[in-house]
Each structure stands twice: as structure tokens, then as C-alpha cells.
Amino acid sequence: MKIAVADKAGFCFGVARAVKIAYETAGENRKNICTYGMLIHNKDVISDLENKGIQCIEKLTDIPKGYTVIVRAHGISKAEYDYFKENENEVIDATCPYVEKIHQIVRDEYEKGRQIVIIGDKNHPEVMGINGWCENSAVILYNDEDVEELLCNIDKKELSVVAQTTIRKDLYGKFEQILKKRFTFVEFFDTICKATYERQSAAKELAENSDVVFVIGGKNSSNTQKLYDVCREQCPDTYKIENAGELINFEKKLKNILQTKTKIGITAGASTPDWVIKEAKLKMAEITNEMNFAEALEETLKSLNTGDIIKGVVIDTTPTEVQVDINGKYDGIIPIEELTNEPINHPSEVVKVGDELTLFVVHVSDRDGVVKLSKKKVDAEKGMVELEEAFNNKEVLKSKVTEIVKGGVVVIAKGVRVFIPASEAADRFTEDLGTLLGNDVSFRIIKMDADRRGRVRVVGSIKNVEREERAKKAEAFWADAAVEKAYTGVVKSITNFGAFVDLGGVDGLIHISELSNVRIKHPSEVIKVGDSIDVFIKELDKENNKVSLVKELKEKKIAEFWAAAEVGKTYTGTVKSLTNFGAFIDLGGVDGLVHISELSWNRIKHPSEVVKVGDTLEVFIKELDKENNKISLGHKKEEDSPWYQGTKDLKVDDVIKVKIVRILPFGAFAEIAPFVDGLIHISQISNERIAKPSDALNIGDEVEAKIIEINNETKQIALSIKALLPEVAEAVVEEEASESYTEEGSFTLGDIIDAE
């Protein structure tokens, strides 16, 4: 007689997590705790929780105000969460992470305006909870009748399909094919729990190789029923029981089985605790005389020992540890420091819920009922073998520098700490090893030996790899290098006289005089180590491995400049030096002079009032003397002049308000805009004849005047007050028709001097 238990049987990690949360809550000495509905479909667990003070309340409105409510693994709707908030209930959420993921999908897809379709049992609490995240608008499919009846009522053409986590894979696949044929825009989210699928697959395999199968689980458990259906398809002699106590009803049958059949299979639903499975196996062994009770008990409750290598499934992560289902009587815990040698902030960076891990048993605590486990020890043992192979093969490895220690740095390779001494940390001496922290580096293992305690010490070298790579790059560089060839290099070091630039395996020197168009005292004023810089080769000395660099090929640039230079062409140059009479501008290897009068429309005493060495300046060529290499530059733009700015919006016949600023014998000057004056000729001041302008106007008077002429060439404006006087409006028109301002009203410098 052989009794076999399916590889995947009993608590799934979601249920195990919910039960663990419930027992932890019970141990906190709280009062008034309840679960909303049966936490799991197992009356033994429910009964035990009730003995510990946790009631099971099925109806939402029966939960008293202020109670602490444990939400079961099946999850609940948004409306139910809102109810608990209004009812002042503290919620301890034990919803399975896989179910929470479905809630998120449904909420997001519903907000997009898509029709939600759920493949599952509409009366199952999980499906009811999922439907609550799309305002109970989902179409729910579970059998062929649902397809025909409900799909015809779907108005929307865009569907988003999810599945109950415990649904059978073949059922999901059948509906997937139907929907694909009916609808064009349909998106499927395969949300069947991996553990459920694995459990069903393991149950099917068990049933195929068994003469009789017992499926253990709650009578109301959906996933237990599905396991029963899967097993019965493969093995007609399949029976469903809740616990070992029900086997008494099969005692006679089990003894009869011995006469003709020898293989008994056991599997269990996700809500069935391990101890219920073990009790059932013991009872079967006792009934069939497979082994005596003591032997069976010892076989079932074999203890773990320090040093054992076991497998486990991650059921939860916290900031300090990982909780693992090791399919035993104790919980498995991986402290964060035993998870990996890599620096991490949270275990979820390394593992996620549902991952199957190979683990090292560090310590078993019978008192606390906890098994302390280590993932990094298993990784390190495996990694040490791989590192030894890499050492023998002189393989180049890549990893990140995780730590700065005395005398060197540490990298993690294959889960093993590798020490790299300071002398091996770089091709050149590195004063500050901190610059390597966090960097990805290539290295080789150069030493592996054991200390007195038998611990293997692994030593690596970055320098070893860098020198080899540099030698290859240098060979390629010299094969291709040529004077005037352009390169983009990286500044490796800086001296008082220049900077060394890595061109790829070979360093070249760029002199300080080549680093800037203006005089600098030290290269650090314009560059720093690590900068990328474009350079040209000026000189090559292959025998001595010397390369001289420049930022630009000046002779070539000067020739190109003179070939393209012409009067009126604009440039953006750099102010190279200042003199009393102007500023010299570097136009790219060629200097030009901007006279002080060209630097500003305002009167300045020295160029330093408007520019300084190093400034960039937009200029244009005013005059060219190629024979003597002289260039006269302009900077002022007409559109920036006071005349242009003051008159750009004015036109003849405009009436403007002006201020009298000067009075002369032949008329008065009025300020129209800053630095722009207009002349009111004596004949245009009044409709009555006056001897002199001061008879009618005083300096400082503000008057309205009409523009009667604008001369942009001579930059003169003629104004008239008389033109605004109604009684002489017709006369003004006649006068303007017969006389022009330039004939009667224009003035010269001599006029002004005579008047003064």
C-alpha cells in the first residue's frame, strides 16, 4: 500500500497569509474583533479563531460600530470598504495580493470606459468583491448559458476580461476563444492564481497515478470542489472529505481497497491547513496498517535541522523580513540581512510573493515555532563554484561597487563578496576610492584562498582588466591616428600647464593656451576631470607615445574665415581684450575691433561700461582690409537706436503730447521720446504773428502738437501747434499744400549756433 500526497496541496500563500494575520491579531489582546464572512472555508480553523476571540460575522450590517474587522483573502468591494469607514471600523486587510491585483485592473479598465467581463462563479465572494470595483456592472460568465444570455446584452464593443483566481484553466481558455470570435476589441488579463493552476495540475497528475483519491477541504470551498472535479475526471474513485474524522466512514472501503488496489492519493484545497492533511494521512495509514501510528507520526512530523537545504514559497514581505511557506509545522522567516549580500532598502527588491526559493536552514526554534532561513548562503555556495570556474578561466566579470572598506572596495559577484585592494582598484592611482562607489566595474578574480577558519577569501582586480582593455584600445588608436584628426576624449587629469585627455587607450596633452579664447590662470577654470571634450591632433610622436592636442585647427579656421568674410556678415564673437578706444573680438581665430562708438547708443567713457573680457557679442563686419588682416566691426543695431525706438509707432498727422526743452529764435525744440526732439518752427506756434517763440512758449511747457513731417534720413521731425487751432485749419491745409517743411522750416547746425 502506498499513500501519496500531491506536491501542491493545502494552504496557498494567500490563505496562509490571511490565517497568519488573523492569529497575529488575536495575539494582540484586542477586543471586539471579527472577520467579515468565513476567513477560510475550514470549520476547524474558524472554530479555533472563535476560541481566541475572533467572531465570524456574515452580514455587513450586523458588524457593530467600532469593531476591528479582518477582511478575508477573497477581498471585498469598494462600497464595503467605504461602509467600514463610515461605521468607524478598523480594517485589517488580509486580501490575497493576487486578488488585489484584479481589483486594480478592474478599476483602471472601468475608468477607461470598457466593459468588464469576469469569468467565475457569480455567487463566490471573490467574484462579488471584484464586481464591486466596477459598480457591479460586470458581465459574469460561468457556463454556456451565461454566454448566450448575457453577451447579447453587451452594448460596448471594448471588453476587458479577468478571471476568478481559482477558476479552472481549461474553462478560462474556452471562454477566451468564444469572446475572441464575438468581439474585435477585447483584452484578456489571465488572473488565475499560479498556485491554483499548479495545485490543479498536481492533483491531475496524482489522480492519474492513483487507484483512489481523497480531496480534503471545506464543504463550501470553491477551489476544493474544482480539485475534486479535476481528480474525478482522472480517477472515478475520488472522494471529498473535510478532515480525518470523516475517514471512519471509509474504513471498510479502505480495507477492501487493499485487496485489489495499492495506490491512495491525497490532495487538499487552498483552505486546508497542513495539520489536517497530516492527520488524514496518519488515519489512512492506521486504517490500512501501512505503518503503525508512531512510525507515521515520525514520518509526518520530521523536524528540520540547521544546515538543511529546503524549498519554500514567499507568502509575504515586510521591511525587515520575508515570510516563507516551507510546507511544515513551523513558519519560515528570512531576515533581510540573510536575503542577499547586495545593499537593498526592502526585500521586495529581491523577491516577490509567489517566488519559490531554495533556502539554507539557519536555526529552528521549537519554542517560537519559527525556522530562520537564509537565501544568501545558498546563493553564495552556488556562486563560489561559479567564481572558481571564472578564476580558472580568467573570465571577466561585471558588478557594482557596493562598499568602501579599509584598503579597498567590495563588489558582489554571484552572491559572493569580492574584495578589490586599492592597488587593484584602477589602472592609475586613485586617491579617493569613494568615486567608485555605486559604479559598475569589470574585474577578474586573481586570488581564492581559505583562511584558518576555512572561509574562502576572494580577491579581484579592476586594474587587470583596465590595462588589458587599454592596451587593445591603444593599438587601435595608433593604427588609425593622424594629425588634424578629430576626437572626443575624456579629461583624465589636470596640471598647471594643461590637461591630459583620454582618447581611448592613449592620453594626449592639451596646453592651457589652447583651452580658452581668453587668458586663464589654470585649466580648472574651464574644465574638470571627467568632462567630455572635442579635440584635434596637433602633433604625434608614436615612438614616445606622445600626442599633442588642440581644441581647434587655427590655421585652417583662419583661412576658412577670410575666404567667407564679407562686409555686412554677422558673427557671434568673444571679447578678447579692451582698450580705451574699443574692444577686440575673437571671431574664431581672427580678431576684429569694435570702436567704442559702436558699443552703445548712449555716450560711454570706456568699453568696460558695457562689456567685459569673455563676454559673447553679436557683431557685423563694417570694413575689411585683407591685405593688413584688419577688420572693423559694428555692434549697434539701428532697431535699437533712440530714433528708431522713439519714432517707429509715429506717422504724419499724428497728434502727440510733447515737452518744450529748448527755445531758439527760429522756433522751439520739444521732446517726443528720450533723445528724440522735434522742431516747432516759429511759424507753426500760433495763428497770430509773434516776434519770438518765447512770447508763446516756455521751457517745461507740455503741449499738444501735430506731426507735419518725419525725415528718417536727416532724423528730423517737424511739429505744429497752429495746425490744431480750429479757426486756421483751412489756412494750414493751403499752406501745407504750397510750402514744405524742408523749404521753410528746416534748420542747420549754423542756425542753432547763431541762435545760441
Q: In terms of pLDDT, which residue wins out, 730 or 348?
A: 348
pLDDT exceeds 50 at position 753 = no
Is 486 within the bounds of a domain? yes
> Which is nearest to 693 in space by CA: 711, 707, 679, 712?
679
What pLDDT is attached to residue 169? 83
CATH number of the domain bearing residue 69: 3.40.50.11270
Q: In terms of pLDDT, which residue wins out, 268 or 1?
A: 268
Q: What are phi and psi of 744, to 5 degrees?
A: -100, -35
Q: How confident is the model at residue 424 (pLDDT cuts 50, 70, 90)?
A: confident
**At CB < 8 A and 24+ separation, what contacts does 122-125 make?**
124/74, 124/164, 124/222, 125/37, 125/72, 125/74, 125/75
Residues 93 and 20 in one domain: yes
Catalytic residue of the set 80, 109, 126, 424: 126
Is 644 within the bounds of a domain? no
> Which is nearest to 10 in space by CA: 194, 269, 202?
269
Q: In terms of pLDDT, which residue wins out, 380 or 82?
A: 82
Residues 104 and 115 in one domain: yes
Is 120 within the bounds of a domain? yes
Residues 366 and 385 in one domain: no
Q: In terms of pLDDT, which residue wins out, 669 or 143?
A: 669
Q: How confident is the model at residue 215 (pLDDT cuts 50, 70, 90)?
A: very high
CB atoms within 10 A of CB 642: 14
pLDDT digits (tens, 9 = 90+) for 276-297: 887 888 877 777 665 444 444 4
CATH number of the domain bearing residue 559: 2.40.50.140
Residues 519 and 453 in one domain: no
**Which amino acid would we find at residue 460?**
G
Q: In terms of pLDDT, which residue wins out, 155 or 199?
A: 199
What pLDDT is attached to residue 301? 44
Q: Which stretch of 218-222, 314-318, 520-524 has the lowest confidence by average pLDDT?
A: 218-222
What pLDDT is attached to residue 579? 92
pLDDT exceeds 80 at position 583 = yes
Residues 212 and 244 in one domain: yes
Q: Mean of the pLDDT values across residues 338-343?
A: 83
Q: Mean of the pLDDT values across residues 690-704?
A: 91
Q: In terms of pLDDT, which residue wins out, 445 or 381?
A: 445
Mean pLDDT across the chain: 83
Is 492 within the bounds of a domain? yes
Residues 105 and 92 in one domain: no
Q: Mean of the pLDDT values across residues 360-375?
A: 78
Is 6 within the bounds of a domain? no
Q: What are phi and psi of 360, to 5 degrees?
A: -100, 130
Beta strands of 581-701 (E only): which ranges? 582-586, 591-595, 616-625, 630-634, 655-664, 667-673, 676-681
pLDDT exceeds 60 at position 750 = no
pLDDT exceeds 50 at position 756 = no
What pLDDT is attached to residue 196? 76
Q: How confident is the model at residue 155 (pLDDT cuts 50, 70, 90)?
A: low
pLDDT exceeds 90 at position 660 = yes
SS3 145: helix
CATH number of the domain bearing residue 207: 3.40.1010.20
What pLDDT is attached to residue 366? 57
Is 86 within the bounds of a domain? yes
* Residue 126: active-site member: yes
What pLDDT is attached to residue 741? 38
What pLDDT is attached to residue 368? 58
pLDDT exceeds 90 at position 669 = yes
Burial 89-122 (b: 16+ CB within 10 A, else e): beebebbbbbbeebbebbeebbeeebbbbbbbbe
The residues pairing with 33 across neighbouring beta strands, listed in sequence order, are 54, 68
Residues 631 and 700 in one domain: no
What pLDDT is attached to residue 732? 45
| Domain closes at, from 552, 568, 593 | 552
pLDDT exceeds 50 at position 33 = yes
Domain limits for position 56: 13-97
Query: Are 56 and 78 spatial neighbours (Cβ–Cβ below 8 Å)?
Result: no
Residues 146 and 205 in one domain: no
d(CA 533, CA 218): 73
| Domain closes at, from 535, 552, 569 | 552
Residues 595 and 631 in one domain: yes
| Domain closes at, from 466, 493, 519 | 466
What pLDDT is attached to residue 294? 46
What pLDDT is attached to residue 102? 94
d(CA 653, CA 723): 10
Q: In terms of pLDDT, which residue wins out, 133 or 264?
A: 133
pLDDT exceeds 80 at position 304 = no
Residues 654 and 735 in one domain: yes
Residues 226 and 253 in one domain: yes
Residue showing cell 579617493: 432
What pLDDT is attached to residue 689? 86
* Spatial CB neighbours of 170, under 8 Å, sequence gap ≥ 6: none
pLDDT exceeds 80 at position 121 = yes
d(CA 611, CA 284): 100
Is 2 within the bounds of a domain? no
Residues 522 and 596 in one domain: no
> Which is nearest to 309 in space by CA: 356, 364, 362, 351?
362
pLDDT exceeds 80 at position 242 = yes
Q: In terms of pLDDT, which residue wins out, 624 or 750?
A: 624
Considering its fold, how many domains does the chain have in total?
Answer: 8
- Report the Cα–Cα distance between both ends of the chain, in Å, rounded: 136
Q: How confident is the model at residue 551 (pLDDT cuts 50, 70, 90)?
A: confident
Query: Are 113 and 155 spatial neighbours (Cβ–Cβ below 8 Å)?
Result: no
What pLDDT is attached to residue 383? 79
Is 34 within the bounds of a domain? yes
d(CA 522, CA 748): 58
> Which is nearest to 84 in space by CA: 56, 61, 54?
61
Q: In terms of pLDDT, which residue wins out, 73 or 558?
A: 73
- Of the chain, the percentage scoring pLDDT greater than 90 comes to 24
Q: Which helix (H) or strand (E) element contains residue 418?
A: strand 416-421
Q: Mean of the pLDDT values across residues 714-738?
A: 69
pLDDT digits (tens, 9 = 90+) for 78-99: 999 999 999 999 999 999 888 9
SS3 134: helix
pLDDT exceeds 60 at position 605 = yes
Q: How confident is the model at residue 534 (pLDDT cuts 50, 70, 90)?
A: confident
pLDDT digits (tens, 9 = 90+) for 37-53: 988 877 778 888 898 88
